[in-house]
A = this chain, B = another copy of it.
Amino acid sequence: MANNPHNQQGVSKASTTQHRRRGKKLEADILDSTLNLIKQTKYEAITMDMIAKHAHTNKSVLYRRWNSKADIVLAALRTQTTDLAAKMKQIPNTGSLEGDLRELFDWISTLLTSMHYTNIIGLMRERLGGISMRDYFDKFARNNFLSQMVRTFFEHASERGEVDLTHFDEALYDLPALVLMDAFYATDDTTIDRSRLDHILSDVLMPVYRPFLTTGNGDAK
């Protein structure tokens, strides 16, 4: 009772207790710290204690909010992608399926090359190498904005009569996500640059989608 280790009587309160953050503010700070760490260090090299220390908090605080290291890192990354998705504001509507897709790819390219995101491929390949398949599929590959957006493009194209979806299987909406994922993971290139994305769109995806276009009559060029 007499000497509680916390009552170092007289020592300026600045160094002892700095106004505890809680709720959203604390959470935002933690994710921000995590993001900073993942920009500098690869996933495997980051420890939960590091994240906690970096955010001036404690491991138990982290586990109260997220279930695993993968969860917290993915959550941190998602703040960024949803941020940028919001910036993209309205869904592309150029009047043609290919135009819409190209705008989406432009945007991905911007996302990847913009200052903040140059490392995102490195991130995915090197730093997120330890993230499990299950996590990846659950949280990124399916039901993500990418596949959603592609689906919307096709719906618009269908309304315009540009495309015939009679024999178009649902699975084909996920193709861009799958092929991009493949490109991110299965290559040794350090960067996925603009030309690489162009290649994927022009030579892989469009050839797949083109046969579903109803260019004038029955068969395309």
Contact = CB atoms under 8 A, between A and B. Distances in A.
B211 A210 contact: yes
A174 interface: yes
Interface string A68-99: 00000000000000000000000000000000
B211 A169 contact: no
A131 interface: yes
Nearest to A168: B207
A199 B210 CA distance: 21
A182 interface: yes
A133 to B, nearest CB: 6
Given A128-B133, A132-B130, A132-B132, A141 B182 contact: yes
Interface string A161-186: 00000011101101000110010011
Within the oligomer, what is the number of copies of this chain?
2
Contacts of A125: 134
Chain A interface size, under 10 / 10 to 19 / 20 to 34 / 35 or more: 20 to 34
A136 interface: yes
A200 interface: yes
A187 B212 CA distance: 26
19 contacts: A125-B134, A128-B133, A129-B133, A130-B132, A131-B132, A133-B133, A134-B185, A138-B186, A141-B182, A169-B203, A169-B204, A171-B179, A171-B200, A171-B203, A172-B207, A172-B208, A174-B182, A211-B211, A219-B219
Interface of A: 125, 128-134, 136-138, 141-142, 167-169, 171-172, 174, 178-179, 182, 185-186, 199-200, 203-204, 207-208, 210-211, 219
